[in-house]
Amino acid sequence: MLCRSRLFGAALLCQLVFCCASTHAVDPPFPGDKDDCEIIDKLFGAVLIDFNEYPLVDGMEFLATDMIRAPIVLDEVALKAAKIDRKLPLTYKSPRNRATKSSSGETSNFPAYRALWEMLGGANLSFVVKNHKVVITTQKAADEWQKEFVKLVESQR
């Protein structure tokens, strides 16, 4: 189930990029506006993450300010309903690209969206881009939102 959800999410991200690219060519516009598209572009940027038992809320704040440079918020309602603590410890190390080095150390070409899916997926969490933010939520809530989004996109074709 989790693998299928991840593949569905990856397909949706590609579809969302397509929708954003065609926002100005379609009337009425697809969901997602210029700000959402900028956030999606940032999620394709490379990140280097090394969390060891790092609290969820602190990890997302670090990613928002130091890595992705986009607002990341927790879906407090969904997390509370699923009894997931906002301080849930996360452990994740993104793959390094050994061929790419910088003066500050090892760098990565691993995209932020993939690191988020892998890191959050182990805790049955996921994310969506909604209302100009990356929203960290439960896998169930993300799947429901994605299904609604796909229906809306298909109804506007």
Q: Classify domain 33-142 by CATH architecture.
A: 3-Layer(bab) Sandwich (3.55)
Look at residues 4, 3, 5, 1 and name the one whose alpha carbon lies nearest to residue 142.
Answer: 5
Say how far apart CA 58 and CA 90 lie, in whole Å: 10
pLDDT in tens, 49-87: 889 999 999 999 999 998 889 999 999 999 999 999 999
Say how far apart CA 149 and CA 143 lie, in whole Å: 10
* pTM of the full structure: 0.75
pLDDT in tens, 125-145: 999 888 889 999 999 998 888
Sign of the alpha-carbon torsion through 138, 139, 143, 144: negative
pLDDT level of residue 95 (50, 70, 90 thresholds): confident
**Could you state, in order of their start, the residue ranges of all structural domains in the chain?**
33-142
Distances (CA, A) of 6 to 99, 114, 133, 141: 28, 9, 20, 13
